[in-house]
Amino acid sequence: YAEYLGTGKPDEGWPTEDSWLSLDQLFEVNQNLMSTSCKQWNVADNSAAEISDLKSSIETVAQSSGVDARFILAIMLQESNGCVRAPTTSYSVTNPGLMQSYQGIGTCNPGTAVAPQPVNPCPASDITQMIQDGTDGTGEGSTSLTAALAKAGTGDVSRYYKAARIYNSGSLDSSGLLQAGVATHCYSSDVANRLLG
């Protein structure tokens, strides 16, 4: 694990897009994780079919949204380790599913970690909806990857690392430093590591 600090720029050591693994490679290196990631919530682990549906869903949503499929996968892994039956977290708003999306529609576990309501098998349509909710959002004011990338406001690779931080906490710290501010300080660094496999 490499700890990345700063504003997400390659000259600060952050990985460039050409150093990210391909989607196929990322799925391969995370296969074991995605096969066992539901245990932490005491719900059934992903089946091979569900993992296959995950990949298709990410590819479909990447194409329709214009968001890099590898970035969608990295955020999904960061949020749920790819467990299709990830529980819903609720603080001020509900965050269900694979991407713990802002008031998302899709879920295969509308219950909480302590009171799960898992759906097994998780239908492909629900998997796609979860990826869609996190990537494209669920309406005005929702924190989605497309909204976060737009808010990042840069054209270079740092937009992905900034968008990751925005997705996690809703905003960037006024310093511009991705490790500063609220929520998970190492979130962008974690996502960068996931993109490298």
> Residue 91: pLDDT band by 50, 70, 90 thresholds?
confident
pLDDT at position 182 is 84
How far apart are the C-alpha atoms of 150 and 36, rounded to whole Å?
34
- The pLDDT tens digits of the residues spanning 156-191 come to 999 999 999 999 999 999 999 999 988 889 999 999
> Residue 10: pLDDT band by 50, 70, 90 thresholds?
very high
Q: For residue 140, is pLDDT > 80?
A: no
Paired tokens of 52: 């296959």
pLDDT at position 92 is 79
- The pLDDT tens digits of the residues spanning 37-58 come to 999 999 999 999 999 999 999 9
Contact 145, 71 (CB under 8 A): yes
pLDDT at position 61 is 99
> Residue 141: pLDDT band by 50, 70, 90 thresholds?
confident
Average of per-residue pLDDT across 152-157: 94
Q: Percent of the chain scored above 70 by pLDDT?
A: 100
Distant-in-sequence contacts of 167-174, Cβ < 8 A, 24+ apart: 167/75, 167/134, 167/143, 170/143
> Residue 194: pLDDT band by 50, 70, 90 thresholds?
very high
pLDDT at position 176 is 95
Query: Is the CATH code 1.10.530 the one for domain 10-195?
Result: yes
Contact 70, 21 (CB under 8 A): yes
Contact 75, 168 (CB under 8 A): no
How far apart are the C-alpha atoms of 14 and 50, rounded to whole Å?
32
How far apart are the C-alpha atoms of 167 and 32, rounded to whole Å?
26
> Residue 93: pLDDT band by 50, 70, 90 thresholds?
confident
pLDDT at position 119 is 98
Helix extents (H) in the chain: 23-29, 31-36, 48-65, 69-80, 124-136, 145-152, 158-169, 187-195
Round the average pLDDT of the chain to a whole number and report it.
96
